């Protein structure tokens, strides 16, 4: 009986690990999601990570770029929000702190079905608060998550760092986030000189209850050949103050 119990436990462990480590197959389409989750605080003022995780799970993404993530901050009850969401979604989590905040940290994160093979973090400009670019490498591609400054000059300063990282990438790279600027702004036009927009720049993402502007998007360098199989702004008006983006790409 004891031997049978040990065998069953081992089989469950192998099953879980296999589910978490299955390699993404880009030939069938890589599913990317970008979501400013406001650390789980919805438009109703309630902080509910179960609700946030449900939105992410429903998208069935391979990689999720997250913005406004608390780590051990008091307002999130000391929780490592990226880790909590990763566990609830059965995904690996990677966090990049931008600033010290409320007894802990605050920044951006990435959830992924594949285990990362390398992680880099780059400091970005932000006079109201420091910003960060999280770059996570997988076997066949790279995904970055960022949340840029509210100040136009700082966004432009950050662009040179983002361009440098993208141009140096030896694999296909996708950069997702809350850019705090519209694609038709000066920043958006400058970004468009080196990057192609993969998401629909006419589909508004903010505020979530009645979206009026586009400040969230996913891009990739022009040098990279990418076919967009599907793109959407997910109809989720409550779980955060931003609506999530989802794209399926083939490269």
Instruction: State pTM to two decimals.
Output: 0.89
CB 160 within 8 A of CB 196: no
Task: Decide if pLDDT at 10 tops 60.
Answer: no
**Mean pLDDT of the 23-37 span:** 81
Q: Which CATH architecture has domain 24-250?
A: 4-Layer Sandwich (3.60)
pLDDT digits (tens, 9 = 90+) for 138-151: 999 999 999 999 99
Enumerate the domain spans of the chain. 24-250
Residue, of 172 and 19, whose pLDDT is higher: 172
3-state secondary structure of 147: strand
**Mean pLDDT of the 213-234 span:** 97
pLDDT for 245 equals: 98
pLDDT digits (tens, 9 = 90+) for 83-119: 999 999 999 999 999 999 999 999 999 999 999 999 9
Strands (E), the chain: 30-36, 63-71, 92-101, 104-112, 118-124, 131-137, 142-147, 173-178, 195-197, 216-221, 227-233, 245-250
pLDDT-derived band at 19, boundaries 50, 70, 90? very low
Taking the C-alpha atoms of residue 187 and residue 94, their distance in angstroms, rounded to an integer, is 27
Task: Decide if pLDDT at 29 tops 50.
Answer: yes
**Mean pLDDT of the 22-31 span:** 66
**Mean pLDDT of the 199-204 span:** 97
Residue, of 100 and 16, whose pLDDT is higher: 100
**Mean pLDDT of the 202-219 span:** 98
Burial state string for 86-97 with b = 16 or more CB within 10 A and e = fewer than 16: bebbebbbbbbb
């Amino acid at each position: 009986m004891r031997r049978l119990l040990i065998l069953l436990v081992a089989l469950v462990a192998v099953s879980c690990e296999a589910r978490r480590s299955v390699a993404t197959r880009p030939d069938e389409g890589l599913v990317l999601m970008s979501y400013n989750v406001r650390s789980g605080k919805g438009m109703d003022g309630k902080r509910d990570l179960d609700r946030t995780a449900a939105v992410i799970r429903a998208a069935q993404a391979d990689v999720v770029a997250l913005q406004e993530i608390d780590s051990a901050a008091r307002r999130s009850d000391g929780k490592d929000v990226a880790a909590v969401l990763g566990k609830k979604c059965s995904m690996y989590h990677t966090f990049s702190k931008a600033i010290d905040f409320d007894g802990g940290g605050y920044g951006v994160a990435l959830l992924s079905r594949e285990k990362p093979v390398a992680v880099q973090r780059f400091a970005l400009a932000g006079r109201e608060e420091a910003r960060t670019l999280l770059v996570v490498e997988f076997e066949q591609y790279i995904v970055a998550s960022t949340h840029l400054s509210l100040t136009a000059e700082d966004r432009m300063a950050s662009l040179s760092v983002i361009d440098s990282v993208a141009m140096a990438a030896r694999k296909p790279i996708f950069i997702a986030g809350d850019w705090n600027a519209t694609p038709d702004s000066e920043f958006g036009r400058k970004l468009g000189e080196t990057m192609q927009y993969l998401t629909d720049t006419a589909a508004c993402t903010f505020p979530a209850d009645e979206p009026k502007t586009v400040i969230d998007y996913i891009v990739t360098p022009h040098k990279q050949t990418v076919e967009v199989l599907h793109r959407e702004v997910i109809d989720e008006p409550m779980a955060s103050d931003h609506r999530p983006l989802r794209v399926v790409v083939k490269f």
